[in-house]
A and B are shown apart, each in its own frame.
Chain A
Amino acid sequence: MLNNIFKVIISILLIQINMSNCNAVEPDEILNDPKQELRARKISKNIRCMVCQNQSIDDSNSSIARDFRILIRSKIQEGSEDKEIYKFLVERYGDFVLLKPPLKSNTVALWFLPFIFLVIGILVILNHNKKSN
């Protein structure tokens, strides 16, 4: 009971930590082909560690993140394209697994609002600038 309370307290601390001993990519995972390894790292950085707060599998030391990394590398070695690997993971874990949400009907606002904010901003500036001349 007290232990649970303690966990709660820790989890609502100002700084939330979920990594104790940070060892992400292990030497035995690394592929021999540097090009393939680079691809694996790039993909890993975009895949969320499912049990972590806000970490990619590349940064996480959780065992499931390691499984993901190994899986991605074996898929690369089997000749899968990046797209296929993303698709494979999304089919099983949903869009939640992607740290960069794909553009879909439900993320249109997410991707276009910043652009719209910017346009509004530029309009405000132009409005100010024009009238002064």
Chain B
Amino acid sequence: MKNKFLKLPIILFFIILFIFFYLLIIDRNPAKVPSALLNKNVPIFVTKTLVKNEKFSSSKEFGDQVTLVNFFATWCKPCKDEHAFIMRFSSEKNIKIVGINYKDNPKKTIEWLKKLGNPYSNVALDKNGKIAIDWGVYGIPETFIINSRGIIKYRHVGAITPKIYKKINLIIKEIE
């Protein structure tokens, strides 16, 4: 009796090992967390814009066309690294690109954008990181793709790499 009873734990043992094996070989980053906001509406918020210090209202900005939202800051190095890709999106694609400037100095940001080019049709200010929390952001740069009905379809944490660039292109094509 005891021996039969023991077979189960042995099978379980191997199943767990197999799951570990699976996790090791798949392309996975243990530090990344899937977004809870996928397929949900864009969070509603109101803030100021970077350039003219005007009112920025999320309900007006999102939901009329496919939009790429990029959380960035001048003090964040990966943001600088990925900037070229954002520029490419703005020149190659017919989408709206909104930047959200995370915990930054507006003056510095304006200069930064002058130097590196400004791909954003509008930049919203997130002075204390509250908007970022609303979006479930935890590590900038982060990029979101929003469809024309204002629903979040994709989210990427970290700098855009050539691989992610291709992926985003595909997603834009899909939802357009």
Do A and B come into direct contact in the complex, CB within 8 Å?
A: yes
A90 neighbours in B (Cβ, 8 Å):
36
Choice from B43, B130, B139 contacting A51 with Cβ under 8 Å: B139
Q: What string of 1s and 0s marks CB contacts (under 8 Å) between A85-116 and chain B? A: 00000111110100000000000000000000
A122 on the B face (CB < 8 A): no
* Interface hub of A67, A92, A94 (most chain B Cβ within 10 A): A92
A77 to B76 Cα, complex, angstroms: 32
Check B133–A96 contact: CB distance below 8 A: no
A93 neighbours in B (Cβ, 8 Å):
33, 36, 136, 138
Choice from A64, A70, A71, A91 contacting B138 with Cβ under 8 Å: A64
A70 neighbours in B (Cβ, 8 Å):
128
Judged by DSSP, the binding face of A is helix
B46 on the A face (CB < 8 A): no
Check B133–A71 contact: CB distance below 8 A: yes
B111 on the A face (CB < 8 A): no
**CB contact list, A35-85 vs B, under 8 A:** 50-51, 63-64, 67-68, 70-71
Distance from A123 Cβ to chain B, minimum over Cβ atoms (Å): 13
- Name the interface size band of chain A: 10 to 19
B79 on the A face (CB < 8 A): no
Distance from A106 Cβ to chain B, minimum over Cβ atoms (Å): 14
10 contacts between A and B (CB under 8 A): A50-B33, A50-B138, A63-B129, A67-B128, A67-B132, A91-B37, A92-B134, A93-B36, A93-B136, A93-B138
A interface list, Cβ under 8 A from B = 50-51, 63-64, 67-68, 70-71, 90-94, 96
B interface list, Cβ under 8 A from A = 31, 33-37, 43, 103, 128-130, 132-136, 138-139
Q: A63-B103, A67-B130, A67-B133 are in contact. List 13 more A-B contacts (CB 8 A).
A: A50-B139, A51-B138, A64-B138, A64-B139, A67-B128, A70-B128, A92-B36, A92-B135, A92-B136, A93-B33, A93-B138, A94-B36, A94-B136
